[in-house]
Amino acid sequence: MLMSEIVVEQPFGVYEGKAVSAYRLSNANGLVARLTNFGARLIAMMVPDRDGISADVVLGFDDLAAYAESNSYFGATCGRYGNRIKRGRFVLGGRPIDVSQNDGPNHLHGGFKGFDRQIWDGEIDKAENSISFSLVSEDGDEGFPGRLVARSKYCLTDDDRLIITMTASSDQETVVNLVHHSYWNLAGHDSGDVLDQLLQVNAEFYTPVDDELIPTGEILAVAGTAFDFREEKAIGREGGGYDHNWIISDFGPGLRPVAALHDPKSGRTMELRSSEPGVQIYTAGYIDPPVVGKGGQLYRRYSGVTFETQKFPDSPNFAHFPDARLQPGEVYEHCMAIRFLVR
């Protein structure tokens, strides 16, 4: 197959009077990624098992209308600030900033109409086998200062990696924390829960949260707790209800090992590396009542798991958390490399 035949663009419906597209990337080994410019999101990921049988391993919907109606962020690029900001308030450059409070009294994933609900511009690069989505977020969007230009690029390689690169620049000081929000189930999106799948996380510490899922500011060791996945363990070994930020060990320049997920039944495995200091692992414990997904499949609690590599939740309000500020002339860059294999 020629590289020029690998990238395909198709209509995916209309949102607020604007046409939306879907895109298809495939590689030499039978992996297929489907994407849409609505939310710069991953809508399907076909991955072979140890017998060569492919299954779609991300949760999602069959059509654009369902994505537009859902608040589950399936596969989306979330921003301008992914995850939570307490009371939607922080201080930037000596002045208080108030952003949308769309999660009770708090800010979550960019606000009422975050980047997940925007139509991005799509650009195909056939030589690289990639799709780049771009979006302009004007000054004051959901309360954030600065005119921000964001990009989210997906590249599928012949060594079975899906590389997601998110970048941004602003004309004013602002905060940025772009997050990729796919829910993964390596047995297949329609296979039930992920509690028996094996998780390994390269983290010795995590950030505990209060009853609103806002970090307390503490940094605690995972040793001796339900958060200790330094060695591979079943997600559900102690209940499986996670929505927390782990602190990546040995963080530094370049891509660092973050986590690995393995499905013993199919043999499918994914290994994640990232440039970011934290990862929010969410096991879909709040999908209740069930959501009707692809093919009419009911997604229930623990039907998938997210790996949202990130700055920490509520970083703008904690001086000892990673700095989420972006200055004019700087470029925010966040890279995730997801490798698929079988064992």
Q: Is the peptide bond before 147 cis (omega within 30 degrees of 0)?
A: no
Quick one: tokens of 109? 């994933």
CA distance 47 to 160: 9
Instruction: Provide, for the chain, the percentages of residues in helix, strand and coil under a 3-state DSSP scheme, each rounded to the nearest 5.
Output: 10, 45, 45
Q: Which of 107, 181, 244, 334 is catalytic?
A: 181
Active site annotation includes 333:
no
Active site annotation includes 181:
yes
Could you tell me if 127 and 3 are in contact, meaning their C-beta atoms sit under 8 angstroms apart?
yes
CA distance 163 to 146: 28
Q: Which of 107, 142, 276, 308 is catalytic?
A: 308
CB crowding 299-308: b at 16 or more within 10 Å, else e:
bebbbbbbbb
Could you tell me if 336 and 179 are in contact, meaning their C-beta atoms sit under 8 angstroms apart?
no
Q: Which of 164, 118, 162, 109 is nearest to 138 (CA)?
A: 118
Strand partners, 306: 183, 282
Catalytically active residues are 181, 308
